[in-house]
Amino acid sequence: MIIISVLLGALSLIITWQSCSTLKRKLRYVVSLLRLAAVFLILLLLFNPGDWKSDTSNDEKPWIVMLDGSESMTALDDGESRSDRALLIDGQIQDLAKESGVTVRRFQFADELVELSDGDSYQFDGQSSDIATSSDRLLSQLASQGVNPAGVVVLSDGRQTSSGKSEQVSLRAKSMQVPFHTLTIGGEKIFSGIRVSTPRKSLTAFPGQALTLAAVVELSEVESQRIELALKNAQGEVISQKAVLVQNNEKQVVSFAINAPEESTQLKLEVVSQSDNIKIDGDGAEYRIKVLNDKARVFIAEGAPYWDSKFLAQMMRRQAHMELSSVHRLSADRWFQVDSSESLPHESSTSVFPDTIEKLMQYDLIVFGKNCEHFLNEERIKILKVFVRDLGGAVLFARSKPYTGELTTLEVLEPVRWADGLREDFHFQPTNEGAIAGLFGDALPDSDSALWSSLPSLKDAHRIEGVKPFTRVLATGKANGIGGQSHEFPLLMVRRYGQGVSGLVNADGLWKWDFYPEARDLGNMYEEFWTQLIHWMLSYSEFLPGQDYALHLSADEIRPAEPVLIRAAYRGEGEVAAPEVVVRSAALSQELVIVPAEEIDDTGQLKWIACYEPEVPGNYHFELRASNDNNLSLPDVSLLVLAPPAEMDELSADPYFMETFAMQTDGLVLEDDSWLDVLSEKMSAIQQIDRDGVAYWQPSWAKWMLATLIALLLSAEWWVRRRNGLS
């Protein structure tokens, strides 16, 4: 580099000397020296003169302590309050920081984020807490101050009244390289008091229909109590009242038998009497009852009449909220038909079955017994699929495999794939899935009830090769095998197919539940089972009986400011304008009208969608309003916006959230027995970097004076040359 610089300098001097040959010798020396000096300084830049410096920027990286100031921190764990434990740890962190020579800034979060100065004390009276939102505010505040901390230590029980967007904080913390290390203060707190819950909050019924509303009363960590419950209507009037004796740490199921009202409503169950100074969890339990004003229209097709089909048809005709049409095949040319609208049955010589989509739409549920191949052909199966898939109809195969041999085109509607053979003598046994679905546990006994094994056994369950995907097994058949070993197989199944539903009862012999005296002594389980199953299937379908519009929400319960999707559909004929959704609630000053947007659908069916975010807790009622016909039966749904949890409602610490939050920000989960050593190592590592420094090269030429000097030399040369007539 030196040789090249010397050669370039010499070449520049020679060129300059020759270019000013017309000048006097003295001026030639001046011009050449000016050029040589400028070139020398420019070549000097290539050598990048300077010296090594040590980076001390880490001195500006403080540590942050975020301490939870919410009221839940006053809870006691093993005789010590969480706040005292947090203050002790905070003091130890301050001492550790002094030993390590690092700065610590203290922040308290609860209702708001506040930085504490020296001498300020923590207050533990906050009525809300949100760790993610407080952390996001902390990062914003530090970024506005140009501060990039070495790390943040969060001291909290993890208990929150609301939860912010942890993903947003995670991305921001990672981009700023600020890890959040969490230390959970406190442990599990067992609830002490009374808790009332409802296994099933939403019920669908017909006006006047007998309903059983079940509630679970739980007593925790208190002496046995006699608790009185009151069931109240929407106006606060007591409908029914019951008392129950509950033992400590036990649950009692309380049932209220009522008749469904004439219109949809909401009922509330409250604790009205208990011992003093016993905490009640929440403010009661609620039921939402959807009343169907249109009768359920059912068509039964039975190709091999037996006691099962006879008892089922008779039971349905007794139901005031059902309209039944039944056809029984007596022989190849004799068909016995009975309609609810007719006083006498009549015979036909040909197969009677709805053979157009318009005729099928006159029914909500199609029930098949045995040998349905005598009713169906390719065209009828085709429109039956459309009825279920696109129009929200329901099909129930009530007596095991509905046809003899194979009927390939019907298989898509069946919840299972059939194998060869039959099963004999087994008992009906509900599953947990059936309880979750709401079929068992309320109107029907739950899976633990001894009643099911006491009922007469069933028979003729067709063997199953496999259950199709998305099929819900609501009950199984329980049979005794060789050596007393019991085994189970799917017995009651339902499966969504498009907007409708298909169901299967893989058994015969249920009629004995209604015929044998010993079975009748156990209650009218035959009628209860079939009516509840039919009602459940009809409500499981997209469209309710007698309604051409459907209205559904993505959730029944949400927190304030959470979005809920509103979906509407139409299965009638012709084009219709977009319906309106009217929202009513005591939480709103006036009714709200939402006009949903049309949703693209491959089937060509009219669908609409909208989104709503209620801000205020309360009950919200959504009604569909259509412009094409004021006489239509239109659907309505309800939404419960839960009140935010109070700070002292649930006092158990949440270590899982604290662990997740630390991992999301590349932080560490600090443990009680090792946190001091971990932080000591972290702070010492930062301090070691501060002392050693990060060496870097500091150029000495990067100053304005050098550039100015080069410009002055070249300008002086230009001025001398111009004054003497040179370019």
From CA 700, how far away is CA 48, in angstroms rounded? 8
Domain that holds residue 362: 296-540
- One domain, residues 631 and 660: no
* Rounded (5°) CA angle 614-617-620: 65
Tell me the C-alpha distance between 313 and 325, whole Å: 9
- The residue to which tokens 């036909």 are assigned: 348
Tokens of 506: 């893989």
Looking at 499, 517, 540, the residue that finishes a domain is: 540
Identify whether residues 278 and 328 lie together within a single domain: no
Q: Final residue of a domain: which of 262, 291, 320?
A: 291
Tell me the average confidence (pLDDT) per consecutive run of 10 residues in the chain, 727 residues long.
77 78 78 82 77 58 93 88 94 91 92 88 89 92 91 92 80 92 89 75 79 80 82 88 85 84 86 64 71 86 88 87 88 81 67 86 92 91 92 92 92 93 87 83 73 86 92 90 74 92 93 73 75 85 84 88 91 81 91 89 80 90 79 80 78 90 93 90 66 62 77 82 74
- State how far the Cα of 289 lies from the Cα of 287, in Å rounded to an integer: 6
> How far is 406 from 388, CA to CA, in rounded Å?
21
CATH of the domain at 572: 2.60.40.10
Residues 6 or more apart in contact with residue 208 via CB below 8 angstroms: 259, 260, 262, 320, 321
Q: What is the pLDDT of residue 115?
A: 93
Domain of 262, CATH number, reads 2.60.40.2030
Residue type, 385: K
Backbone phi and psi for residue 99, each to the nearest 5 degrees, phi listed first: -65, -35
Summary count for the chain: helices (H), strands (E): 16, 40
How does DSSP assign 196-241, residue by residue? EE-S--EEEE-TT-EEEEEEEEEEESS--EEEEEEEE-TTS-EEEE
Res 58: pLDDT = 45
Burial string for 573-584 (b: 16+ CB within 10 Å, else e) reads eeeeebbbbebe
What confidence score (pLDDT) does residue 398 get? 92
CA distance linking residue 102 with residue 670, whole number of Å: 20
CA-wise closest residue to 265 among 324, 210, 204: 204
- Sequential DSSP letters for 82-99: HHHHHHHHHHHHHHHHHH
Indicate if 501 and 363 belong to the same structural domain.
yes
If asked whether residues 707 and 630 sit together in one domain, one would say no
Same domain, 528 and 405: yes
The two three-digit tokens of residue 663, written as one number: 């991992």
Closest CA to 471 of 492, 441, 442, 450: 492
As a whole number of angstroms, the distance between CA 419 and CA 424 comes to 15
**Residue with structure tokens 């301090």?**
687
Query: What's the distance, Cα to Cα, between the start and end of the chain in Å?
Result: 32
pLDDT of residue 505: 95
**Separation CA 248–CA 568 (nearest Å):** 47
Supply the DSSP string of 125-190, one letter for each residue.
-BS---HHHHHHHHHHHHHHTT---SEEEEEE----SS---HHHHHHHHHHHT--EEEEE------
Give the chain's domain count: 5
Do 223 and 324 lie in one domain? The reply is no
Q: What would the two tokens of residue 424 be?
A: 């004999």
Question: What's residue 319's pLDDT?
Answer: 84
Whether 215 and 103 map to the same domain: the answer is no
Residue 377 shares a structural domain with residue 253: no
Q: What is the largest CA-CA distance in the chain?
A: 140
Structural tokens at position 234: 């929407």
Q: How many other CB atoms sit within 10 Å of the CB of residue 3?
A: 7
Nearest CA to 287 out of 557, 552, 59, 509 is that of: 557
Mark whether 352 and 326 lie in a shared domain.
Answer: yes
Residue 351 sits in a domain whose CATH number is 3.40.50.880
Q: Which residues contact residue 214 at a Cβ distance below 8 angstroms, ignoring those fewer than 6 apart? A: 198, 199, 200, 253, 254, 255, 256, 441, 442
Beta strands in 424-522 (DSSP E): 427-430, 461-467, 471-480, 486-497, 500-505
Residues 6+ apart with CB under 8 A from 279: 191, 192, 193, 194
Q: Which of 601, 624, 641 is the last residue of a domain?
A: 641
Q: Classify each residue of 82-120 as buried b or exposed e, where b means 16 or more C-beta atoms within 10 Å of its C-beta.
A: bbebbbebbeebeebbeebebebbbbbbbbebeebeeee
Question: 657 and 705: one domain?
Answer: no
Q: Are 24 and 89 found together in one domain?
A: no
pLDDT confidence of residue 274: 61
Nearest Cα to 220, choosing from 268, 252, 255, 243? 252
- Hey, is 403 helix, strand or coil? coil
Residues 6+ apart with CB under 8 A from 7: none
List Cβ neighbours of 222 (8 Å cut-off, separation of 6 or more).
192, 193, 194, 248, 275, 278
Nearest of 159, 161, 164, 179 to residue 82 by alpha carbon: 159
Same domain, 322 and 414: yes
